[in-house]
Amino acid sequence: MPRLLLALLAAVAVATPALAQAPKFDRKEDVIYGRKWGTALTMDVFTPKEKPNGAGVVFCVSGGWFSSKESVNVGFVSEFLKRGYVCFAVVHGSQPKFTIPEVLEDMHRAVRYVRHHAKDYEVDPDRLGITGGSAGGHLSLMMGTTGKDGDPKAKDPVDRGSSKVAAVGCFFPPTDFLNYGKDGAVMLGRGTLEGFKAPFDFTELDPVTRSFNLVSDETKRRAIGKQISPVYHVSKTSAPALIIHGDKDLLVPIQQAERIIKRYKAEGVECELVVKAGGDHGWPGIEKDLVTIADWFDKHTGKK
């Protein structure tokens, strides 16, 4: 299992004992939110039994862009459940089979699915927060900056809805693969991220042979790298964002958080960076920071 995911799971596992104080909830497993290449995409839905607040939280189950059902950690969503949020733990198409651009399409689909079925889950479709750590944080920021309107002519009614979210709250996210740690440092599956090559093995579909060909041209690779970096998509309409990041993180340097926070401020988007002094890629007591993220969602999803 990739180090990114191991670090996150080890950190959030500390939160699990708090479940004894959490409200009771119902868990619906393996809800199919989409299909691709003959494969079902699933999420687990956690619904609090007491005091629902009418809002939802999408949890990106991802570390190193690796995602699996086994990685759904109830401890990560317990604070949100305690406050009445319905939580959607999304498992996306995982590396090494799928690349980041493909993963992002899964996340757009997942948010659209939640919005389309909002009435079924008794949540307001305009009161959705999104969260995750590391790769899950990256995906959260991408949804917060590139959420888009649906296609009104789409055959599938789910695809007619928007993939926009109301707020982002995340941990130690990569934000700029073309300037990773320092200006000009390109980390598209190399350097610091050389242990995560597969998510950056971008491909193109040949319309004649119907086969996928690896993109090897460096100019094209960098163009895709820019496309999947949330820092380049920040605009005045981006969702408010909270980032919690350790200043001793060797895998995803805090420079990544600082870089996108600077962009948010330049665009006038409400944002906040919480710096964990001495924090690496995960730290003991991270469950306390989930409280901070929940507070952020309370503020920006219009809790009633």
Is 195 part of any domain?
Answer: no
Q: What is the mean pLDDT of residues 170-199?
A: 97
Query: Would the pLDDT of 9 be above 90?
Result: no
Q: How many residues does the chain have?
A: 304
Is 154 part of any domain?
Answer: yes
Closest residue by Cα to residue 114 from 165, 69, 78: 165
Is 290 part of any domain?
Answer: yes
Q: Which domain does 173 fall in, by range? A: 3-182+230-300
User: What's the pLDDT band for 13 if we cut at 50, 70, 90?
Assistant: very low
User: For residue 143, what pLDDT is reported?
Assistant: 98
Closest residue by Cα to residue 90 from 293, 105, 209, 161: 105
Is 41 part of any domain?
Answer: yes
User: What's the pLDDT band for 22 if we cut at 50, 70, 90?
Assistant: low
Is 8 part of any domain?
Answer: yes
Is 103 part of any domain?
Answer: yes
User: For residue 304, what pLDDT is reported?
Assistant: 56
pLDDT per residue as tens digits for the range 217-260? 999 999 999 999 999 999 999 999 999 999 999 999 999 999 99
User: What's the pLDDT band for 95 if we cut at 50, 70, 90?
Assistant: very high
Q: What is the mean pLDDT of residues 270-292?
A: 95
Helices 286-300 and 74-82 sit at what angle, rounded to 10 degrees? 40
Q: What is the mean pLDDT of residues 175-181?
A: 98
Query: Would the pLDDT of 85 be above 90?
Result: yes
Mean of per-residue pLDDT scores for the chain:
92
pTM for the model stands at: 0.93
User: For residue 152, what pLDDT is reported?
Assistant: 94
Q: How many domains are there within the chain?
A: 1
Decide which of 153 and 303 is more confident: 153
Q: What is the mean pLDDT of residues 155-168?
A: 97
Please give the Cα distance from 179 to 271 (Å, whole number): 21
CATH number reported for the structural domain that contains residue 153 in this entry: 3.40.50.1820
Is 192 part of any domain?
Answer: no
Is 39 part of any domain?
Answer: yes
